[in-house]
């Protein structure tokens, strides 16, 4: 646990439970609805169906269809409605059913969601969350599997975060809903069914990275679905005598330079891992920032392992497109080791 992770003292919520990431997100939404009448959930099929991935399962029945409700298939309208609600004191949480389905709402996001606070010199804030299932690993076709994080991280005025564990799914979503400003919450759908311990009393600050595994020889920097790949690669590298540190970046904007640079300086070598294409990407930005801030500490160039610069692959070829352990190990081997 980093200094950014704190626990509340509410004994009733302190019990730790094992749940899937999907279950942790559902619990976070339910707890937010319970805590504040200002919180509303809406989107395509999030009501009676409970969402395509069942993240909102049971919430309409529990809290009523005035608090969790379905919308027309109109993403721009969904986000525009959320903007109006947030301007009038509500805390809307909207779901874009799949990553590439969000593009029709992109104009609303960049022109209004991201800019209204600045446009009014802070007089009007937008406390709203846009939940977006993103990334591959489920065998979906192109409009259902995309890594769109660079578009949002590039847009000033947006906080962009993504969890890699059930605990972070819960804690980050609660923090996002509590934020006075808009948050793009990217949910790695490949990890929806992974399980882990969740302490509902734990809170996480937005804008912070997390040290997942300690190591002394090199640092792997990852987020979302790339974090389990990094951990698996660290295990494999350990069998070859490498001590590998793993950092879950988790906050793409704002970026936690302090944690990331301290980690890389402590090892002198770094590899960035992400699913999205590498050109003009979040991964390339991390690579550049680390190279600039850690230059005098680096023993080798910072490498990156990403998806390829092509449209997302069809389901049968997905495994060729997504970063895997072998590609990460190849990048590790290229880091100018003195004993080789």
Distance CA 149, CA 146 (A): 9
Distance CA 64, CA 253 (A): 34
Distance CA 271, CA 269 (A): 7
Q: Is the peptide bond before 176 cis (omega within 30 degrees of 0)?
A: no
CA separation, residue 229 to residues 78, 111, 136, 248, 302 (Å): 34, 35, 13, 11, 18
Instruction: Indicate if 319 belongs to the active site.
Output: no
Q: Choose the catalytic residue: 144, 154, 297, 319.
A: 144
- Of 233, 245, 298, 234, nearest to 269 (Cα)? 298
Do 75 and 107 form a contact (C-beta atoms < 8 A)? no
CA separation, residue 3 to residues 7, 43, 249, 254, 259 (Å): 11, 35, 15, 17, 11
332 alpha carbon, distance to own chain's centre: 24
Which residue numbers are catalytic?
Answer: 144
């Amino acid at each position: 646990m980093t200094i950014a992770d704190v626990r509340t003292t509410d004994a009733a919520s302190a019990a730790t439970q094992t749940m899937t990431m999907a279950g942790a997100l559902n619990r976070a939404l339910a707890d937010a609805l319970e805590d504040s009448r200002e919180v509303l959930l809406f989107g395509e099929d999030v009501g009676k169906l409970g969402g395509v991935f069942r993240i909102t399962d049971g919430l309409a029945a529990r809290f009523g269809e005035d608090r969790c409700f379905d919308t027309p298939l109109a993403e721009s309208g969904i986000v525009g409605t959320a903007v109006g609600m947030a301007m009038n004191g509500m805390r809307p949480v909207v779901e874009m059913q799949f990553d590439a389905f969000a593009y029709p709402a992109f104009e609303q996001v960049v022109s209004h969601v991201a800019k209204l606070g600045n446009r009014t010199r802070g007089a009007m804030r937008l406390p709203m969350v846009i939940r977006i299932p993103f990334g591959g690993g489920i065998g979906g076709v192109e409009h259902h599997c995309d890594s769109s994080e660079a578009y949002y991280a590039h847009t000033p005025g947006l906080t962009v975060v993504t969890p890699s564990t059930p605990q972070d799914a819960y804690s980050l979503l609660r923090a996002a809903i509590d934020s006075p400003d808009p948050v793009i919450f990217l949910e790695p759908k490949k990890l929806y069914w992974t399980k882990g311990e969740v302490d509902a009393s734990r809170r996480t600050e937005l804008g912070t990275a997390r040290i997942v595994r300690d190591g002394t020889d090199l640092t792997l920097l990852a987020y979302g679905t790339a974090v389990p790949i990094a951990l698996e690669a660290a295990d494999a590298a350990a069998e070859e005598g490498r001590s590998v540190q793993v950092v879950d970046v988790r906050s793409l904007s704002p970026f936690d330079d302090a944690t990331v640079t301290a980690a890389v300086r402590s090892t002198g070598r770094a590899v960035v891992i992400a699913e999205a294409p590498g050109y003009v990407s979040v991964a390339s930005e991390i690579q550049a920032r680390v190279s600039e801030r850690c230059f005098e500490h680096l023993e080798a160039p910072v490498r990156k392992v990403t998806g390829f610069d092509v449209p997302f692959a069809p389901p049968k070829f997905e495994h060729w497109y997504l970063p895997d352990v072998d590609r990460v190990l190849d990048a590790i081997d290229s880091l100018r080791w003195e004993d080789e």
